[in-house]
Amino acid sequence: MKISLKAKMGLVLAFLIILTVTVLSVLVLKGIETNQRDQLESELIQKSKAAEQTIHQSYVTGDPSLNTDSFLQQKGQRLASSIASQSGMQTVLYNQKGQEAGSSIPIGQKDVDVSDTLSYALKGKIAYQISGSSLIYFAPVSIDNQLIGAIRFDHSLKNNQQFIADIRHLFRTWGTIAAAAAFLIGYAYFYRIASLIASLQKTSQQIRKGRYLTDLPFKRRDELGELSQGLFFMSTSIEKNIDQMNEEKRKLEFAISKLQSLEQQQKQFIGNISHEFKTPLTSIKAYVDLLDMYRDDPQLMEDGVQNIRKETNRLHEMVDKILKLSALEKYDFEQRPEQVELKRLLEDICDRMKGKAAKFDLTLHTNIKEAVVWADRESLIHIFINLIDNAIKYNEPGGKVEVTSYTLENSIIVDVANTGIGIPPEAEEKLFQPFFTVNKDRSRLSGGTGLGLALAKDLTEKQKGVIKLHHSDSKWTIFKVSFPLKTEK
């Protein structure tokens, strides 16, 4: 059975009160009893002395020829009655042999056996015995230092006993009232404390379920207040730790997924490399076999040399770009940033590319602003050659290539635009992935490897720039590259 804390506290207080009252009542009653006995003893001693005096008086004033025994025989009854009326107690006189010489006790009243106690008195000692509610007191009686008998007083203890009973009753009544009051006060006081403890218990269950505290459960300037504060601090630090753990977990998951995707990309990259290498190598091997078989065919020789050169160039370009891409992923050492005048650099590149453009029956226009960027010159050349080369390769005869630039806030933006076949929207997402080509055959025909844009993107990002396909439709395709401008600082 579960006993609530408040009931326990009430019971403890009530028990303490009962214990205190019991101990107090035992001590008080004991004290009263001792006091009553002492008073009674001294009263009886005085009365026995007075009686002895009376007997002595009567003896010396009486017949001098009588000895003490005869004196008691003659006067015993009268003396007993007179002493009884003086002392207010039943009195019995005994001679030396222990025989009654006089008694105030009415004849026929049942008496108790007092012989043992009487024998003590007849040996000169004070003795008493308690019988029912009476104290029977014996004192030796002497005349001129000669023991002549004993006197007995019957003292009623009724009043004393009643007094003690009254006090005991008082202790019981008030003890019970005090214990009940203590229980109620204890219960009421601990009711408040128990409800605070219950609220703390509820709070701890909340924390266990992950509902953390936003405020103190309650404020008090005692141990319960400290406990409430402790619970609050515990809750906030658990919440913080869990948040940190979740954050770490999130970062870890992100890192794992990044690693997995990198691994996947790497696998794909290697797969693509072997696939892309196979085609030119197969072609070279086929021509070598044919040339071996038909050594005297000059036409075959011509075609073979041309094709082998083309495929070898392609392989060479591919190896070159792959090595550059993987080196970019790992090292920065090839980057030598410097102050580059972009207008001059772009115009130089365009001048170099104009010949190729003319070969494809294209016109190349430039409109470039003066701007200075902080970048690796070689990388910039790679980026723009790739873009302009693509603008030529994926164009149509009679088409245009335009290279323009403008500044926007702290950036210089270069647009490389070309007419031509355009890029379908579904290809936009993969455009910058290594080995991606919209049309494999067209790429192959124009000597493309699918690595140009991937390399351009990596190189641009190394210069803290951004490259993206800005627009593409059946008329114009525009790539935008932006770099932060070199400021005076």
Which residues contribute to the site for ligand ADP (CB under 6 A)? 386, 390-391, 394, 418, 420-421, 423, 431, 436-439, 443, 448-454, 477
Minimum distance of ligand ADP from residue 310's CB (angstroms): 14
Minimum distance of ligand ADP from residue 269's CB (angstroms): 14
Instruction: Centre a 10 Å sphere on the Cβ of residue 465 and count the other Cβ atoms it contains.
Output: 22
3-state secondary structure the chain: CCCCHHHHHHHHHHHHHHHHHHHHHHHHHHHHHHHHHHHHHHHHHHHHHHHHHHHHHHHHHCCCCCCHHHHHHHHHHHHHHHHHHHHCCEEEEEECCCCEEEECCCCCCCCCCCHHHHHHHCCCCCEEEEECCEEEEEEEEEECCEEEEEEEEEEECHHHHHHHHHHHHHHHHHHHHHHHHHHHHHHHHHHHHHHHHHHHHHHHHHHHCCCCCCCCCCCCCCHHHHHHHHHHHHHHHHHHHHHHHHHHHHHHHHHHHHHHHHHHHHHHHHHHHHHHHHHHHHHHHHHHHHHHHCCCCHHHHHHHHHHHHHHHHHHHHHHHHHHHHHHHHHCCCCCCEEEEEHHHHHHHHHHHHHHHHHHCCCEEEEECCCCEEEEEHHHHHHHHHHHHHHHHHCCCCCCEEEEEEEEECCEEEEEEEEECCCCCHHHHHHCCCCCCCCCHHHHHHCCCCCCHHHHHHHHHHHCCCEEEEEEECCCEEEEEEEEEECCCC
In degrees and rounded to multiples of 5, residue 310 shows phi and psi of -60, -45
11/421 with CB nearer ligand ADP:
421
Minimum distance of ligand ADP from residue 476's CB (angstroms): 9
Minimum distance of ligand ADP from residue 404's CB (angstroms): 15
119/446 with CB nearer ligand ADP:
446
9/451 with CB nearer ligand ADP:
451
Minimum distance of ligand ADP from residue 254's CB (angstroms): 28
Minimum distance of ligand ADP from residue 258's CB (angstroms): 23
16/445 with CB nearer ligand ADP:
445
Which amino acid appears at position 288 of this protein? V
141/417 with CB nearer ligand ADP:
417
149/452 with CB nearer ligand ADP:
452
Minimum distance of ligand ADP from residue 413's CB (angstroms): 17
d(CA 455, CA 434): 8
88/425 with CB nearer ligand ADP:
425
Minimum distance of ligand ADP from residue 297's CB (angstroms): 33
Which amino acid appears at position 136 of this protein? I
182/362 with CB nearer ligand ADP:
362
207/438 with CB nearer ligand ADP:
438
d(CA 456, CA 379): 8
158/365 with CB nearer ligand ADP:
365
88/447 with CB nearer ligand ADP:
447
Which amino acid appears at position 111 of this protein? D
Minimum distance of ligand ADP from residue 294's CB (angstroms): 33
307/439 with CB nearer ligand ADP:
439
d(CA 93, CA 149): 7
Q: Output b/e per residue, 102-122; b: 16+ Cβ within 10 A.
A: bbbbeeeeeeeebeebbebbb
Minimum distance of ligand ADP from residue 436's CB (angstroms): 6
Minimum distance of ligand ADP from residue 247's CB (angstroms): 38
What length is written for the chain? 489
Minimum distance of ligand ADP from residue 434's CB (angstroms): 8
Minimum distance of ligand ADP from residue 325's CB (angstroms): 11
9/387 with CB nearer ligand ADP:
387
Task: Write the CB contacts of 273 (distance below 8 Å, at least 6 apart in sequence).
Answer: 322, 435
